[in-house]
Structure 1
């Protein structure tokens, strides 16, 4: 950008219009980056994580029968996510964890390559952002939790470069195993044990930076659809 600015001065171009154009290009690029970042998410993975959180909330209320459909759906969607090209293989110690979400206490970092599935994302802005941008980030995060990535990307157009995107990924086989254990406990009417199994999934989530997502996680575009109920 400095080189182009220098050329503009040399050739007698008006600096102000060029500056406005450069700012516009940067804004467009940041919007593109937001959309690209969201495209790394797995639709089935997002829905599976929502099922897991829903089931845990029900189990924490002491109910079991009501949690079973969500657990079945989580298994089905995790299986679908594992067959899609949204997953990637890596050892946990090779990941680049986002500092905003450190690992849970007692978490042991794995050294063996395993399959990971992107199951969620979060947009983070600085405390100095204008109120309307903070509101946009809050709305976008709500939309992301609901799996509405396209709406979230549109909401964040007013934020552009003033926010960072981090992605939650989960180890596929380990997560499937935990859901299966939770299902067995739930069917046996042991809500506390079932909830504890699901808590292990939450504790084992790894949050990675947008830069890592760009280099390691496949871009899904708009081709992937959630698994049908």
Structure 2
């Protein structure tokens, strides 16, 4: 449950469109590397995870009809995320999992290179930070979850560079397969099997530092971010 709770926090980061907020973010947040971090995130990927969490909660309550819209949205948004910038191809053995967020106990590592999509993120500080900096990070994450990016940038000025940005990565093909299976089971009025399929998608998530993702070349065909002026 801790794993799902952490992912639920992360998937709220881009609930509101970035739009003009990105310009406000640039000035205050650049030295904390958040501009680069948010460029790695896929808003469609984050919304896919939010749809999956929503559908699973509904399915766990036995409500198949109510879960279908979220599953359809998850499939469409994941397809869009697969064309966005930020994705890259790598074998899971080459990833460097973030110690702050270990993988799920039932996680099964892939043995071949796959396409990864950043689907969430969280600012994390060390345990040795001063109380006011820890409080600032907690506030900033709450603001990010609500889509208040400029306010979060302002809050993080208290922390400075004493924080890291953790990204949640989802394997594209594995996640798409899980959503497809969940949709079939849901349409067949089998909520238990549908929920289990979505759990497999959640179990496939790997958390890594933004510094690691920054070193990875984009996947072939991925849309490149616009050059900064």
What corresponds to 2:95 in structure 1? 95
Task: Quote how far apart the aligned CAs of 1:66 are.
Answer: 1.2
Task: Quote how far apart the aligned CAs of 1:178 are.
Answer: 0.2
Task: Quote how far apart the aligned CAs of 1:122 are.
Answer: 1.5
**2:143, 2:225 → 1: CA distance?**
18
Identify the range of structure 1 (213-222 vs 109-118) with the bigger mean alpha-carbon deviation: 213-222
Compute the RMSD of aligned alpha carbons: 2.6
Q: What is the aligned length?
A: 196
Q: Deviations over 1:175-223 (max 9, x none)?
A: 0000111111111111121111111111110111121022116574799
Alignment of 1:16-31 (within 5 A): 30-31=31-32
Q: Deviations over 1:122-165 (max 9, x none)?
A: 22123343444333322333444456656544443332222211
Richer in helix (by share): 1
1:108 has 2:95 as partner: no
Query: What is the TM-score normalised by the length of structure 1?
Result: 0.75
**1:132, 1:57 → 2: CA distance?**
35
What corresponds to 1:15 in structure 2? none
Query: What is the TM-score normalised by the length of structure 2?
Result: 0.75
Task: Quote how far apart the aligned CAs of 1:35 are.
Answer: 2.3
1:57 has 2:38 as partner: no
Alignment of 1:40-51 (within 5 A): 40-51=40-51
**1:149, 1:182 → 2: CA distance?**
33
Is the contact between residue 37 and residue 210 of structure 1 (CA under 8 Å) also seen in structure 2?
Answer: yes
What corresponds to 1:174 in structure 2? 174
Question: SS where residue 129 of structure 1 aligns?
Answer: coil
Task: Quote how far apart the aligned CAs of 1:96 are.
Answer: 1.0
Is the contact between residue 182 and residue 194 of structure 1 (CA under 8 Å) also seen in structure 2?
Answer: yes
Would the alpha carbon gap of residues 94 and 128 (structure 1) be closer, same or farther in structure 2, given more than 3 Å must change?
Answer: closer
What corresponds to 1:14 in structure 2? none
Question: SS where residue 161 of structure 2 aligns?
Answer: helix
Question: SS where residue 213 of structure 1 aligns?
Answer: helix
Unpaired runs of 5+ residues, structure 2, are: 1-27, 219-223
Would the alpha carbon gap of residues 117 and 154 (structure 1) be closer, same or farther in structure 2, given more than 3 Å must change?
Answer: farther
Identify the range of structure 1 (136-145 vs 158-167) with the bigger mean alpha-carbon deviation: 136-145
Is the contact between residue 106 and residue 203 of structure 2 (CA under 8 Å) also seen in structure 1?
Answer: no
